[in-house]
Chains A and B, each alone.
Chain A
Amino acid sequence: MRIGLFATCLGDTLFPEAVRSTAVLLARLGHEVVFPPDQTCCGQMHVNTGYQREPVPLVRNFAEQFGDASIEAVVMPSGSCAGSVRHQHEIIAARYGDAALRSGVATVKAKTYELSELLVDVLGVTQVGAYFPHRVTYHPTCHSLRMLRVGEKPLKLLRAVEAIDLVELPEADSCCGFGGTFAVKNAETSTAMLQDKMRNVCGTGADVCTAGDSSCLMHIGGGLSRIRSGTRTLHLAQILGSTRTTPYPLTEAAR
């Protein structure tokens, strides 16, 4: 399959390893990965903070970059960006766009997937040949869970990983407190939520807390690093991208 990879601005700039793992994983599974070079950002942060006029060019650019009919599916290693493309772009296009934008947005929306959806639903694989001999707990990020309804898909993929010690995260479905600019505007409430999430993560004794969204992982990981918990965060793609021949070199997190 010819798959368009959207790196997301956060992934491209701050967490390139997760995007790299996604690209390599899909290529390893026999798919052609294309990276439209002029892609930037989906505009989610703008929309979620209340700005809908400003991201119009971003929405347009996204639709143009991935609109090409030869791209059969668009994937991104982020539940919230996929949620933005699927749920918010049409709102922006309807309100501040033109007919061309509306139709462009509808076209890409229909073929946009978050990583676990693409693997399980579109490509029909749960066994991706990964090897990860560490204790892992999975945080289902809110947008993956409740906006995209990815459900058990990421867990199915993780269960199929060789040598993994997957432990259940208590109160997994409660929000980590990130919420984009929420963590800045309501930093104290966000911190109170983060503390409870970290307590649950640390209680599992996991080496790694994983999720399908680098933004939530930046939040949880930033907190775990500050308290020197010994648990580190890795994107789901990085675990799925770890193999026996090229295992992920897990270094000890600071304690």
Chain B
Amino acid sequence: MSTFLGMPAPPPRSPYGTGNLRGDRTFPAAAHDELRNGQLRRNLGKATRTIRGKRLHVTGELPDWEALRDAGSAIKTDTMNRLPELLEQLERNVTERGGTVHWARDGDEANEIVARLVRATGSSDVIKVKSMATQETGLNEHLESLGITPHETDLAELIVQLAHDRPSHILVPAIHRNRDEIRQIFLDEIPGVDPRLDNVPAHLAAAARAYLREKFMTTRVAVSGANFGIAETGTLSVVESEGNGRMCLTLPDTLITVMGIEKVLPRYQDLEVFLQLLPRSSTGERMNPYTSLWTGVTPGDGPQDFHLVLLDNGRTAALADTIGRAALNCIRCSACLNVCPVYERAGGHAYGSTYPGPIGAVLTPQLAGMHAAKDDPNSSLPYASSLCGACFDACPVKIDIPSMLVELRHQNTEQSGTTAEKLAMKAAAAVMGRPKLYTAAQKAAALGRVVGGRDGTLSHLPAPFSGWSDSRDTPAPPKRSFRAWLASAEGAATMRAAAEEGARHGDDHQEEK
């Protein structure tokens, strides 16, 4: 008796993430508008160039920088290889020290957990430390919909929030704003601000400080992200520059930390590596001004009610991809953004996701998929790169972003079915795979000379190449291919003459010896 077992079913796959992981337009469409924003391009160019210079200075001065990068990469790879056990260890240790751990499968679940915890405190306001994870889940919007007001306390996040804008950079969310714009935002949005406020950075900072100080003193609940969570001890860590984080992490009664599950590190000792890699790569500083570390609850000191929300939101799906999982090693330093020529021109908003730049182009499709929405804009992200490789060189944990982009492009074409592009690629490969056909095609191309202008260049090409020919001339194919020349009498004579000269040259050498 035979049993037909049917096609082997694909293994069950972890679901994709929810939240701010998808724009409403493709990258080229969004970049089209951003490229026309001269202000944005000037600000971005200036800011990224400055940070690039600082980073090179402080990474160049460390004799063991490359060894640190290797160590960072190795620790992260080891972490991803045994993520489940490390997370359970983290949970045990946080719980033992008086904290409560919550597991959130996706962004919606994380938002619900946080909202429930805030409501239980009776507070209608929360203060927030800059956090990518809660931006990814859209926590602020969710809290607002329930009548809870989130207050961003990082200066740049505050500017973005007050302007009802979206961050455009992982580390410098308001990189697309200059001080005149910031002054106007403060005048419009901060209640009771001095109407004579000018655009001097120190004055702008003082205005924000006065506003924030009041929030710190009166708000009883804080929400933070985490840069690291140590499995061995249950310690959480936030690294920051302004001290607003320290305020949020110490003053309130209740602290809720939302941490992506990939942020776990095995040992306390691993911080030695990452606290060197992170500030030098991100702000170009030897050490960041504030490093906060806390473990559960300490009686009589700091928040007495601590909750850790562990967020999956597509990370398990990314972990299943043997090549793509390296994106989870990211420590969000933003070095890859600052060196990326595409990011520098198109800006962060063009990526449509919480995660812009090179890392966004590989992380976003993995967390949220490339074919999970109609005409999914995420499928354009892996192509938003010239594969120049600057990101790989800059990454403190050596994530090979260019290779991952190529891999994601392949996954995209595999999932896309038959497209005009695929047919063209098949046709090209068919010609190039057959030398005779290839040579015939070269001859046909040479005939294309007749369409060339008088100076032998083509200045207008049809779609899909019209974008190319808008600003570039293309040489008309030459009369003769290289192989045709080589086979000609002229080619043979030239090569013979060169070989004779080479032989003489060789003899000269013999004589010299």
Give the residue of B410, B475, B486 whose beta carbon is less than 8 angstroms from that of A14: B475
CB distance from B272 to the nearest CB of A (A): 29
Say yes or no: is B16 at the interface (Cβ < 8 Å to chain A): no
Q: Are B389 and A186 in contact (CB under 8 A)?
A: no
Known: A188-B32, A191-B471. A58 touches B435 (CB 8 A): no
Complex Cα distance, B32 from A33, in Å, reads 48
Say yes or no: is B470 at the interface (Cβ < 8 Å to chain A): yes
Nearest neighbor of B392 in chain A, beta-carbon distance: A146
Cβ–Cβ < 8 Å partners of B473 in chain A: 221-222, 225-226
Chain B contacts with A in 450-467, Cβ cutoff 8 A: 455, 457, 459, 464-465, 467
Q: Interface readout for B380-395 with A: 1 if CB under 8 Å, 0 if not?
A: 0011111111101100
Say yes or no: is B502 at the interface (Cβ < 8 Å to chain A): yes
CB distance from A240 to the nearest CB of B (A): 13
Chain A contacts with B in 1-31, Cβ cutoff 8 A: 7, 9, 11-17, 19-20, 23-25, 27-31
Q: Are A194 and B472 in contact (CB under 8 A)?
A: yes
Cβ–Cβ < 8 Å partners of A57 in chain B: 429, 433
Chain A contacts with B in 31-67, Cβ cutoff 8 A: 31-33, 35, 37-41, 43, 45-52, 54-55, 57-58, 61
Complex Cα distance, B341 from A193, in Å, reads 7
Q: Are A184 and B468 in contact (CB under 8 A)?
A: yes
Complex Cα distance, B473 from A210, in Å, reads 17
Secondary structure class of chain A's binding surface, majority of residues: helix
Nearest neighbor of A181 in chain B, beta-carbon distance: B383
Say yes or no: is A200 at the interface (Cβ < 8 Å to chain B): no
Q: Are A254 and B35 in contact (CB under 8 A)?
A: no
Q: Are B432 and A186 in contact (CB under 8 A)?
A: no
Secondary structure class of chain B's binding surface, majority of residues: helix
Q: Interface readout for A181-202 with B: 1 if CB under 8 Å, 0 if not?
A: 1111111111111110000000
Q: Are B425 and A51 in contact (CB under 8 A)?
A: yes
Say yes or no: is A219 at the interface (Cβ < 8 Å to chain B): yes
Say yes or no: is A154 at the interface (Cβ < 8 Å to chain B): no
Q: Are B35 and A189 in contact (CB under 8 A)?
A: yes
Say yes or no: is B50 at the interface (Cβ < 8 Å to chain A): no
Q: Are B387 and A28 in contact (CB under 8 A)?
A: no
Q: Are A225 and B345 in contact (CB under 8 A)?
A: no
Give the residue of A46, A146, A221, A226 whose beta carbon is less than 8 angstroms from that of B471: A226
Q: How many residues from B make CB contacts under 8 Å with A?
A: 72
Cβ–Cβ < 8 Å partners of B429 in chain A: 43, 46, 51, 54-55, 57-58
Q: Are B467 and A12 in contact (CB under 8 A)?
A: no
Nearest neighbor of A197 in chain B, beta-carbon distance: B341
Chain B contacts with A in 139-181, Cβ cutoff 8 A: none
Q: Are B468 and A192 in contact (CB under 8 A)?
A: no
Known: A16-B478, A24-B498, A185-B28. A40 touches B345 (CB 8 A): no
CB distance from B135 to the nearest CB of A (A): 24
Known: A28-B505, A52-B410. A142 touches B477 (CB 8 A): no
Some 19 contacts from A to B, beta carbons below 8 A apart, are: A11-B482, A13-B477, A13-B481, A23-B486, A27-B495, A33-B495, A45-B428, A46-B425, A50-B382, A51-B413, A54-B425, A142-B388, A175-B341, A182-B383, A182-B385, A189-B28, A189-B345, A193-B341, A222-B474
Task: Give the A-binding residues of B (Cβ under 8 A).
Answer: 27-28, 31-32, 35, 41, 341-342, 345-346, 382-390, 392-393, 403, 406, 408-413, 421-422, 425-426, 428-429, 432-433, 435, 438, 442, 445, 455, 457, 459, 464-465, 467-468, 470-475, 477-478, 480-483, 485-486, 491, 494-495, 498-499, 501-503, 505-506
9 pairs of A and B residues whose beta carbons are closest in the complex: A187-B467, A179-B386, A50-B409, A222-B472, A146-B389, A175-B388, A27-B498, A30-B502, A57-B433
